[in-house]
Amino acid sequence: MVLVCAAFFLGASLLYFLRTRRYLFPVLCLNFAYFSERFVSVQDGLVLDHALLQAKRRSHVGSRGAAGRWLCYSGAGSTSPAHGCAPGAPGVSMRHAPVLAVATAASLATTLLLQGLVVAGAAQTDPAFEALTRLVTGKMTEHDVPGVAFGIVKDGRVFARGFGVGSVDAPQPVTADTLFPIASISKTVTATAIMRLVEDGRMDLDAPVRRYLPDFAVGDDETSRNVRIWHLLTHTPGWEGQLSTPDRGAETLEAFAASLRDLPQLAPAGSVWSYNNAAFTLAGRIIEVVTGESIHDAVDTLVFEPLGLTRAVTRLEDVVTWPLTVGHRRRGGTTSVIRPLIHSSSVTAGGVWMSLSDLLAYGAFHLGDGTAPDGQRVLSEASLEAMQTARVPKAGTDDAMGLGWHLRRVDGVPTAAHGGTLGHTLLLELVPERNLAFAILTNSTNGWRLIQDVERATLEQLEGLTLDPAQALGHRGVNETMPDAPILATQPDPAPYVGTFSRPPQRGYTVRVEDGRLMVNNSSIAFYANDRAVVTSGNQRGNPVEFIRRDDGTIGWIRMVGRIARKANDAPFTTSTTIPRLSSRARAASRFIGAAADQRRTCTSALPRGTRSYGESVDRATVRTTRAAPCPRSVIRTAVTQRYLCGCPTLARGSHSC
């Protein structure tokens, strides 16, 4: 049928030329190009809005014909600027309209038939994927997400599709090759790079940071000496992690490492999981020192080039040479572009850009045996397994943390995932036992709602796996909510949870009882399990909240959106804390890749200079008779953070002691 339509099209073109001595092909290209937009959109999986199609159609009007003349649609051979033609330009006479109409119909029939064949072929190859793409388009409309790239790798077969546009202001279709900033998914790239250095014998996961950065220090001397590489890759160094750094070019990571000198400790290293961008930024500086290269070149050499990733970049000057997406937000009922462009200055915490095609290839590598597509070995299977093996539990949840990967069991089946938020919202997830990887990339801050629905549908429709509504969610770099958490009919005594929780230099939390409800700042929470709660009001409704206990059974921390705050006026960190022992499988992998055998260490944090404990109340008599407790200058930003830090009821702005 396609050949018949094509022959009809060419025959009509020849007939028109013989009767008019004008070339019909350029004119019919206008129609053919317009109709083929729909064919291309199906073939590449694009959903183009009407404005984009009209813009592309207008771009074909007035295209130069083979005879070097401008050919336009017009009536009776005349031209009209209303038709997009210049005055005086030769037109297509309407007396030849029957031939023109027949040929146009042939071109339309050809493209529609091709479109139907593509749709039918796609449906026959994987109806489950087609069902998921319909869910994606529906959720795009529901949540007003301008652009999405979605794909899966299942048993070696790749299905990838783009939807919508990269920018509402400059609408270009999203394809599988469009660049997205993958944000915190970059952390898995960092862990992959470090594992390559470990296998090369240039790094040791159990080595202290000071082996590579001799001058490294935070506010706590014990942590400064003993924090390990694996603590950085598991979000467990124990200090506040929501820290960023200005872009200083080649000196960015070095300057950031030096800026941590006065950062106070929230928990002993290795003891409490708390999402930590600062740890991965510090890991980037270590990579630079070990390799002697900039972090950009090091990531290229260690990860992108060996895996054959051609659209994976870290420099903005490279990003802008490719089709890309920009972030969007919804305000006042309108979705608009976020300006300026959001780009992380920390490559290793969130600065990688990647296309869907390359991200799926990267995910497939982590499902495989450690070899690249060309057969060259990049990592051992033991290293890949070590990355996906639990190192520390996420206390207060059912999840655990591997090296760079967040680990969760869904219906008993292990998954490894990482999300990202940077004006975009994104997720990469692996299900190794089912040989499945999938990625959902959106260019909207509201995209997490789409991701949450599409992730659960993908697991359920492809593998029959369902997340239990009562299963606590550990933050994986992307917003997660528990809309169906089964709230306990009888809530526990709120007294143990009430108090002030600090996380300098960021704002902390106040937990109090108000009108019979437990409140965290201005949001009410309710428990669905022991020490596990969910926000029940405000714009954080559905977000999980965990209270974490110390060794003596008392509440020591609250974790909100994956980040801990320490209960004020706690006793100093003098309790011996044992680093979790690795499983036998992980120990075997660690021995294989050269990690040190010593897996049990006692972390006893020293106190800040001149203080008896962090957050300790210091009365005036103490201040008069002893040396004042110095507050680190780097965290003295507001009276609130000063009060959290020193435990003083009042502290003048600019004062450096209690």
Query: Which pLDDT score is estimated for 13?
Result: 52
Distances (CA, A) of 506 to 243, 453, 565, 568: 9, 31, 9, 14
Mean pLDDT lowest among 142-146, 371-375, 497-501, 606-610: 606-610
Number of other residues whose CB lies within 10 A of the CB of residue 284: 25
Highest mean pLDDT among 127-136, 477-486, 597-606: 127-136
Contact 217, 384 (CB under 8 A): no
Report the residue count for the chain: 658
Query: Which pLDDT score is estimated for 73?
Result: 33
Return the CATH number of 141-463, one of 3.40.50.720, 3.30.470.20, 3.40.50.10190, 3.40.710.10. Answer: 3.40.710.10
Distances (CA, A) of 560 to 420, 520, 548: 17, 10, 11
Q: Which of 16, 9, 258 is nearest to 113 (CA)?
A: 9
Query: Which pLDDT score is estimated for 98?
Result: 52
Burial pattern 388-402, b for ≥16 Cβ within 10 A else e, equals: bbbbbebbbbebbbb
The rounded mean pLDDT for the chain is 77
Q: Determine the 3-state secondary structure of 140 from DSSP.
A: helix
Q: HSE, CB side, 13 Å, CA atoms: give it for residue 29.
A: 14
Strands 555-560 and 563-567: antiparallel
The arithmetic mean of pLDDT across residues 424-448, rounded, is 97
**Residue 314: pLDDT band with limits 50, 70, 90:** very high
**Residue 217: pLDDT band with limits 50, 70, 90:** very high
CATH 2.40.128 given to domain 481-570: yes
User: Where do the domains of the chain lie?
Assistant: 2-125, 141-463, 481-570, 614-658
Query: Which pLDDT score is estimated for 557?
Result: 97
Q: Which of 233, 224, 278, 268 is nearest to 571 (CA)?
A: 268
Q: For 380-449, where are the E strands, in sequence order?
A: 392-393, 400-401, 406-410, 413-421, 425-431, 436-442
Tokens of 75: 């009536």
Nearest-angstrom CA–CA distance, 284 and 347: 7
575: pLDDT strictly greater than 60:
no
Query: Which pLDDT score is estimated for 413?
Result: 97
pLDDT tens for residues 506-532?
Answer: 899 999 999 989 999 999 999 999 999
pLDDT top residue among 60 and 273: 273
576: pLDDT strictly greater than 90:
no
**Residue 324: pLDDT band with limits 50, 70, 90:** very high
655: pLDDT strictly greater than 50:
no
Q: DSSP letter string over 209-244?
A: GGGT-TT---S-HHHHHH-BHHHHHTT-SSB-----
Mean pLDDT lowest among 157-166, 310-319, 609-618: 609-618
The arithmetic mean of pLDDT across residues 313-330, rounded, is 96
pLDDT top residue among 2 and 533: 533
Query: Which pLDDT score is estimated for 347?
Result: 96
Global pTM value: 0.72
Contact 250, 202 (CB under 8 A): no
Query: Which pLDDT score is estimated for 315?
Result: 96
| Dihedrals phi, psi of 316, to nearest 5 degrees | -60, -35
Is the fold of 141-463 the same as that of 481-570? no
**Residue 378: pLDDT band with limits 50, 70, 90:** very high
191: pLDDT strictly greater than 70:
yes
Distances (CA, A) of 59 to 149, 378, 562: 26, 46, 49
200: pLDDT strictly greater than 90:
yes
84: pLDDT strictly greater than 50:
no
What is the 8-class DSSP label of residue 571?
P
Query: Which pLDDT score is estimated for 292?
Result: 98
pLDDT tens for residues 175-186?
Answer: 999 999 999 999
**Residue 333: pLDDT band with limits 50, 70, 90:** confident
The arithmetic mean of pLDDT across residues 616-641, rounded, is 31
pLDDT top residue among 129 and 614: 129
